[in-house]
């Protein structure tokens, strides 16, 4: 116990204080009731999101404001990783690499739009996060071909993945294969880092990460089956291994039925949220995200209720902050498009 107190005592107290400040009912209601994006941003001026508020005040550009929110989210993870050592610190650092992978995928998408689809993306690079210098974002966007991107990334863990894509001609299928390979690499690395945690920490982290993989796969099932018409056999190549509760046999059949089976089997209290699932494929994605958000929230809150001096407090804080940022982004965009409060509540 002394070891756990030494490892988690300080960060536990610090994060408990921060968790109490996460935007919940009063603050969220204020954002929902704001009339415009500018009003939403003004409500963030005295919060941890003041940099995003200043960006909007200076530019009036929602895309740049979203980029500032992304940067703030990265800082939440960096701040925690800097305050813990050993295997827990390495694990949080690996969690942080999710943002590097996401930034790389965004840069490659931009390259794909520019080089393969021949579209004008002159201003789009301004919205990319530049806090991972080894990615050399500008060079990736300006690369002549995917092989050149592999060379740019040769001194990173991603160079081999991109090189294999370049050699296999999978770009004929779009970026799905490459992005899936990058996602699989991230989760495999994360699980490897998780396996170095103590038994108790590993059990807590394994449940949350496993459920997150389930949710990622459920979203892919809806997106690829309903929007792109993938067969079950083809879909299997794009699913992330090592989920907690979703098994390969559970992914056959209609996507709405798969989701209902998963939620009713493991999170019965959330079943009423599925009432409208299956009516319209695009609205299914929006509803699915809201439901899966609640599933993950259930798991991180369970982590908060356990013995306090574990990695559970760290995971709860980081995942709830991720949810908070996404809520702010969604509210900000909804106000820009004139969605009313009631409709916006459904999206959150």
Residues 224 and 135 occupy one common structural domain: no
For residue range 273-290, list pLDDT tens digits in order: 777 666 555 556 667 777
The pLDDT, as a whole number, for residue 21 is 64
pLDDT-derived band at 314, boundaries 50, 70, 90: confident
Residues 8 and 53 occupy one common structural domain: yes
In a domain, 41, yes or no: yes
What's the chain's average pLDDT?
A: 85
For residue range 227-272, list pLDDT tens digits in order: 788 888 888 888 999 888 888 888 888 888 888 888 888 888 888 8
Per the structure, the complete domain to which residue 51 belongs is given by 1-83+311-348
Residues 214 and 298 occupy one common structural domain: yes
Residues 211 and 123 occupy one common structural domain: no
Going by C-alpha positions, the residue among 308, 298, 265, 328 that lies closest to residue 73 is 328
The pLDDT, as a whole number, for residue 5 is 52
In a domain, 188, yes or no: no
In a domain, 217, yes or no: yes
In a domain, 191, yes or no: no
Q: What average pLDDT does range 103-117 have in this prediction?
A: 94
Q: What average pLDDT does range 103-121 have in this prediction?
A: 93
> CA–CA separation, 297 vs 291, rounded Å?
10
Q: What DSSP designation does 178 have?
A: H
> CA–CA separation, 28 vs 276, rounded Å?
24
Residues 207 and 289 occupy one common structural domain: yes
The pLDDT, as a whole number, for residue 135 is 96
Number of domains in the chain: 3
Q: Examine the pLDDT at 89 and tell me if it is beyond 80.
A: yes
The pLDDT, as a whole number, for residue 172 is 66
Most confident of 17-31, 82-96, 230-244: 82-96
For residue range 34-70, list pLDDT tens digits in order: 889 999 999 999 888 999 999 999 999 999 999 999 9
Residues 239 and 155 occupy one common structural domain: no
Which has more pLDDT, 288 or 225? Answer: 225
In a domain, 193, yes or no: no
The pair of three-digit structure tokens given for residue 63, joined into one six-digit string: 């895309």
Neighbours of 3 (CB within 10 A): 10
Which of the residue ranges 183-192, 233-242, 293-302, 316-325 would you say has the lowest mean pLDDT? 293-302
Alpha carbon of residue 53 to chain centroid: 22
In a domain, 332, yes or no: yes
Radius of gyration of the CA atoms of the chain, in A:
21
In a domain, 278, yes or no: yes
Which has more pLDDT, 270 or 100? Answer: 100
Q: Examine the pLDDT at 10 and tell me if it is beyond 90.
A: no
Residues 209 and 285 occupy one common structural domain: yes
Neighbours of 259 (CB within 10 A): 22
131 burial class (0-12, 13-18, 19+ CB within 10 angstroms)? middle
- CATH number of the CATH domain containing 272: 1.20.1690
Torsion of CA 226, 95, 323, 317, to 10 degrees: 150
Residues 202 and 244 occupy one common structural domain: yes
Q: Examine the pLDDT at 23 and tell me if it is beyond 70.
A: no
The pLDDT, as a whole number, for residue 1 is 45
The pLDDT, as a whole number, for residue 98 is 96
Residues 50 and 143 occupy one common structural domain: no
Which has more pLDDT, 220 or 156? Answer: 156
In a domain, 192, yes or no: no
Q: What average pLDDT does range 317-344 have in this prediction?
A: 83
Which of the residue ranges 16-25, 136-145, 324-333 would you say has the lowest mean pLDDT? 16-25
Residues 79 and 92 occupy one common structural domain: no
The pLDDT, as a whole number, for residue 105 is 96
Residues 202 and 299 occupy one common structural domain: yes
Residues 208 and 277 occupy one common structural domain: yes
Which has more pLDDT, 138 or 250? Answer: 138
What percentage of the chain has pLDDT greater than the value 90?
A: 40
């Amino acid at each position: 116990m002394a070891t756990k107190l030494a490892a988690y005592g300080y960060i536990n107290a610090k994060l408990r204080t921060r968790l109490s400040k996460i935007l919940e009912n009063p603050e969220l209601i204020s954002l929902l009731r704001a009339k415009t994006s500018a009003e939403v941003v003004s409500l963030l001026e005295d919060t941890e999101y003041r940099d995003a508020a200043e960006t909007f005040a200076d530019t009036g550009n929602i895309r740049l404001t979203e980029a500032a929110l992304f940067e703030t989210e990265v800082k939440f993870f960096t701040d925690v990783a800097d305050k813990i050592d050993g295997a827990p610190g390495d694990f949080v650092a690996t969690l942080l690499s999710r943002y590097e992978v996401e930034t790389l995928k965004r840069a490659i998408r931009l390259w794909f739009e520019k080089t393969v689809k021949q579209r004008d993306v002159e201003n789009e690079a301004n919205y990319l996060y530049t806090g991972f210098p080894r990615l050399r974002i500008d060079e990736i966007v300006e690369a002549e071909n995917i092989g050149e991107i592999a060379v740019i990334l040769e001194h990173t863990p991603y160079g081999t993945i991109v090189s294999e894509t370049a050699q296999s001609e999978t770009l004929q299928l779009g970026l799905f294969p490459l992005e899936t390979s990058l996602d699989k690499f991230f989760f495999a690395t994360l699980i490897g880092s998780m396996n170095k945690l103590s038994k108790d920490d590993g059990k807590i982290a394994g449940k949350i990460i496993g459920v997150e993989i389930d949710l990622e796969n459920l979203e892919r099932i809806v997106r690829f089956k309903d929007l792109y018409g993938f067969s079950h056999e083809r879909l299997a190549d794009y699913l992330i291994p090592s989920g907690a509760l979703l098994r390969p046999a559970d992914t056959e059949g209609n996507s709405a039925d798969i989701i209902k089976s998963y939620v009713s089997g493991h999170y019965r209290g959330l079943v009423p949220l599925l009432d409208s699932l299956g009516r319209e494929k695009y609205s299914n994605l929006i509803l699915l995200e809201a439901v899966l958000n609640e599933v993950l929230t259930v798991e991180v809150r369970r982590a908060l209720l356990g013995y306090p001096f574990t990695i559970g407090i760290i995971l709860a804080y980081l995942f709830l902050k991720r949810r908070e940022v996404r809520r702010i982004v969604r509210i900000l965009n909804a106000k820009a498009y004139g969605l009313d409060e009631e409709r916006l509540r459904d999206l959150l």
